[in-house]
Amino acid sequence: VTTLGIIGGGQLGRMLALAAAPLGIECVAVEPAEKAPAAIAADVIRATYGDRGALEHLARRCDVVTVELEHVPVDALGWLAERVPVRPSPNVVAIAQDRLLEKQALRAAGIPTAAWAEALEAFPEGTVVKRRFGGYDGRGQVMVPPGGTVAAVLDGDCISEAVVPFERELSIVAARDLDGAVVTYPVVENRHADGILRATRAPAPRLDSRTQAQADGFARRLMSAWDYVGVIAVELFQLVDGSLLANEVAPRVHNSGHWTIEGTDTSQFEQHVRAVCSLPLGSAEPWGVAAMVNLIGAIPDAAAVLAVPGAHLHLYGKEPWPGRKVGHVTVVAAEETELDERLQCLKLC
């Protein structure tokens, strides 16, 4: 059997391990938290992500190792990569965990972004100051209005970015295998509140072929520049004129791709497992339309959710507390009107 090591045992590790099981692939996850969501489908080694004993165990036991989060010590990944294939490669994880390297990589690949500066600089349209390391779900960033002071709004190494007057937020999930074959999912629309993803519509309403092609090109250029293996997500801003800017890149499965479990031929989780385990990629064709709603801070009544036609409940086995993602609901439908009706019944968003 193939054994897949996963650095991280949260909900992404859980859904990766659930997708690996029917392929006959066993998973081992490293996770310091006491109740690891991945534990229902993976052996969990309870240790910090850089723990040498845990890494030695992974190196001995696994055929390949992947990550479910980018905030992993890169030296630990480098040590592992000398002993077992690590996909995507530690270099790429190093870029994605540092907003400065990430912006430089996007520029090098010719992918447009918001104006940005390595120093603390105020932009006329307003400024977002972001910590270089460790930010997620909008934590580690501060929005400063035009004319405001950007100095000392955050401690540590930061970059500054111009506030983008976007029309909407989109993202694209794509996968690349060891031979360089690529599949891309339809571009989706994401709605955030308080820096946290609330809901995804897939495909994005009013998606035209130009937008899909532009997003597709961003993902393909990055993956080929990085000789990437696995699933990647690129978060996008769409401007009023329809053009796209890249916001950030996740070298892993992504929250805006959860709808692919019920909404497409091959979920992003199975796709990632296939890619990193040297198996052929599957079709990313959508069945119809879908919406994914995150469950944040509270767990709804399961019976009420499941009474809605086309609704699928995913709980992560996490204790709810304010602001914490504890699950998601995906609703699928044949077309937009039916999807809207079903979402109204769901009363979650």
Which strand (E) or helix (H) includes residue 329? strand 325-333
DSSP 89-128: -HHHHHHHT-HHHHHHHHHHTT-----EESS----TT-EE
Residue 344 tokens, joined = 């109204």
**Number of shown-chain residues binding ligand ATP (CB under 6 A):** 18
CA dihedral 154, 156, 160, 166 (to 10 degrees): -60
Which position among 114, 249, 253, 326 is part of the footprint of ligand ATP (CB under 6 A)?
114
Residue type present at position 326 = V
Size of interface with Mg ion, in residues (CB under 5 A): 2
CB of 62 to Mg ion, least distance (A): 29
- Least distance (Å) between residue 200 CB and Mg ion: 13
Closest by CA position to 103, among listed 121, 115, 93, 91? 115
Asked whether position 197 contacts ligand ATP by CB under 6 A, the answer is yes
Q: Which of 32, 195, 288, 317 is the binder for ligand ATP (CB under 6 A)?
A: 195
Place of tokens 């190494």: 157
Q: Rule CB under 6 A: is residue 111 a binding residue for ligand ATP?
A: no
Q: Which position among 248, 260, 294, 339 is part of the footprint of ligand ATP (CB under 6 A)?
A: 248
Name the one range near Mg ion by CB under 5 A: 28-36, 96-104, 153-161, 241-249.
241-249
The answer to whether residues 46 and 70 touch, using CB atoms and an 8 Å cutoff, is: no
Asked if 192 interacts with ligand ATP (CB under 6 A), we say yes
CB of 171 to ligand ATP, least distance (A): 9
Question: Can you say whether the dihedral through the CA atoms of 297, 266, 45, 55 is positive or negative?
Answer: negative
3-state secondary structure of 180: coil
Question: Binding segment for ligand ATP among 36-44, 59-67, 72-80, 160-168 (CB under 6 A)?
Answer: 160-168
> Looking at beta carbons only, is 70 or 262 nearer to ligand ATP?
70
Binding site for ligand ATP (CB under 6 A): 114, 128, 135-139, 141, 161, 163-164, 169, 192, 195, 197, 235, 247-248
Q: List interacting residues with Mg ion (CB under 5 A).
A: 235, 248
